[in-house]
Amino acid sequence: MSESTAAELTDAQRLLVDLVSTPSPSGEEGDAAARLVEFFEAHDREVWVDEVGNVHAPADDTVLLTSHLDTVPGDVPVEIRDDGDDRTLWGRGSVDATGSLAAMAVAAVATDVSFLGVVGEEVDSRGARHVIESDRPAPGAVVNGEPSGWTGITLGYRGLLAGTYVATSESGHTSRPENNAIQDAMDWWTRVEEEFDPDEYLPVFERVTCKPVEFEGGTSVDGLSVEATMEVQLRVPPKYTVDDVREVADGQLDIGTVHWYDRVPPVMESPRTRVARAFRAAIRETGGDPRLLRKTGTADMNVFASAWDCPMITYGPGDSDLDHAPDERLSLSEYDRAVDVLVDACERLVGVEG
């Protein structure tokens, strides 16, 4: 980036560019955390990093602004491009979710509300899990940072059930009709998919989506058996519990075993909570038309909602279609509008509580 371009940035934009320019794939968030600490210290805010790497900047806990420090791997060269009347920041994390993270840090300083930057969201949400397992009390409201577009308010996410299926069978000639372990794995998964086969008109958010994500199989090293290992994920809509989905999947199991190692409940918040109302009003005040969204994936909002009985939404600048993409980029004007919305909404919420 040229010196002239850097000089044209506002303080809020400079924080965004600095964070996007700081590689922070899951497990390597330390440098990004240090930049956030520097930012909060420069604004005379209490800030500290916990034992897993989360950045805490506590203040007025009427509102907790929280987003994740980590990004997926991938080298997207960082640059600012002029797009007519706007400028666009290219770089890994600009959308998911460093744009949200930076906007929330700026808004937290402007309104003196609490801030939390968490690690590991792209892998196992270990940062968010660590926070809820600690002694931290529930805040008055949570705003989780993920891209929704500056006019979008995300109210719901599907949950997640993830497991490992393992089967073993005796080795034998491939002309034999009996199933081997690979076929047993395929048959079990086919039955699971059939149980959750949706009506084609059912929205994706309301479906259980079954997805195998990794498979290993073949003859063992000693040649005496055939082995199969399959990693699977099922996305769980709010009309089911994770236990409902597990019971159905286990019910299709007749050969092999499944170790379910990750479970995150779905979440669906009301559009009539005080936090949702505050964001609708703030978006309108900033010149936008609010949109209420439901996301088909899973986020840290699910983790917080499972532990804290307080209203929450997810909000942040950027087009979620660019998550993890090789052309990930964020409009700086959209980022600025998102900061304005966050500041306005937080002021409304603090005013209501006060």
Tell me the three state secondary structure of residue 66. strand
Out of 3-17, 51-65, 256-270, least confident range: 3-17
The position carrying tokens 């371009």 is 5
Average of per-residue pLDDT values in the chain: 94
Handedness of CA 209, 270, 278, 49 (dihedral sign): negative
Per-residue model confidence (pLDDT) at position 3: 47
End-of-domain residue from the set 264, 289, 308: 264
Question: d(Cα 343, Cα 325) in Å, to the nearest integer?
Answer: 29
Is 81 found in the same domain as 207?
Answer: no
CB 193 within 8 A of CB 235: no
Question: d(Cα 71, Cα 121) in Å, to the nearest integer?
Answer: 8
| CB-based burial, 150-172: b 16+ in 10 Å, e otherwise | bbbbbbbbbbbbbbebbbbbebe
User: CA of 90: how far to CAs of 13, 28, 77, in Å?
Assistant: 13, 20, 7
- What's the helix, strand, coil split of the chain in %, to 5? 35, 30, 35
Confidence grade of residue 4 (pLDDT, cut at 50, 70, 90): very low
Is 109 found in the same domain as 258?
Answer: no
C-beta atoms surrounding 174 within 10 Å: 7
Is 345 found in the same domain as 289?
Answer: yes
Is 136 found in the same domain as 12?
Answer: yes
Average pLDDT over every residue of 154-159: 98
Is 169 found in the same domain as 207?
Answer: yes
Confidence grade of residue 161 (pLDDT, cut at 50, 70, 90): very high
Contacts of 156 (CB under 8 A, 6+ apart): 205, 238, 266, 267, 268, 269, 293, 294, 295
Is 332 found in the same domain as 320?
Answer: yes
Q: Is the confidence at residue 2, as pLDDT, over 90?
A: no
**CATH number for 179:** 3.30.70.360
Residues annotated as catalytic (active site), given as ranges: 70, 121
For residue 153, the cross-strand partners are 292
Q: Omega before 97 cis (within 30°)? A: yes
pLDDT digit string, tens, across residues 75-84: 999 999 998 7
Is 254 found in the same domain as 133?
Answer: no
Which residue range(s) make up the domain with 212? Answer: 159-264
Is 302 found in the same domain as 226?
Answer: no
Confidence grade of residue 176 (pLDDT, cut at 50, 70, 90): confident
Per-residue model confidence (pLDDT) at position 352: 66
Is 279 found in the same domain as 194?
Answer: no
Question: d(Cα 317, Cα 319) in Å, to the nearest integer?
Answer: 7
**CATH number for 9:** 3.40.630.10
In this structure, are strands 225-236 and 209-219 parallel, antiparallel, or unpaired? antiparallel
For residue 55, the cross-strand partners are 49, 117
Per-residue model confidence (pLDDT) at position 175: 64
pLDDT digit string, tens, across residues 128-137: 999 999 989 9
pLDDT digit string, tens, across residues 334-349: 999 999 999 999 999 9
Is 145 found in the same domain as 46?
Answer: yes
Question: d(Cα 129, Cα 145) in Å, to the nearest integer?
Answer: 16
Angle 327-332-338 from CA coordinates, rounded to 5°: 110
Tell me the three state secondary structure of residue 163. strand
Percentage of residues in the chain having pLDDT higher than 90: 90
Q: Is the confidence at residue 221, as pLDDT, over 70?
A: yes
Tally of domains in the chain: 2
With CA atoms as reference, report the closest residue to 70 among 112, 120, 115: 120
Is 125 found in the same domain as 10?
Answer: yes
End-of-domain residue from the set 196, 229, 264: 264
Is 81 found in the same domain as 147?
Answer: yes
End-of-domain residue from the set 214, 244, 264: 264
Tell me the three state secondary structure of residue 79. strand
Residue 198 has phi, psi (to 5 degrees) of -90, 160
Q: Is the confidence at residue 151, as pLDDT, over 90?
A: yes
Q: Is the confidence at residue 194, as pLDDT, over 60?
A: yes
Quote the DSSP letter at residue 204: G
With CA atoms as reference, report the closest residue to 330 among 13, 11, 36, 6: 13
Confidence grade of residue 256 (pLDDT, cut at 50, 70, 90): very high
Q: Which residue has the higher pLDDT, 170 or 173?
A: 170
The residue count of the chain comes to 354
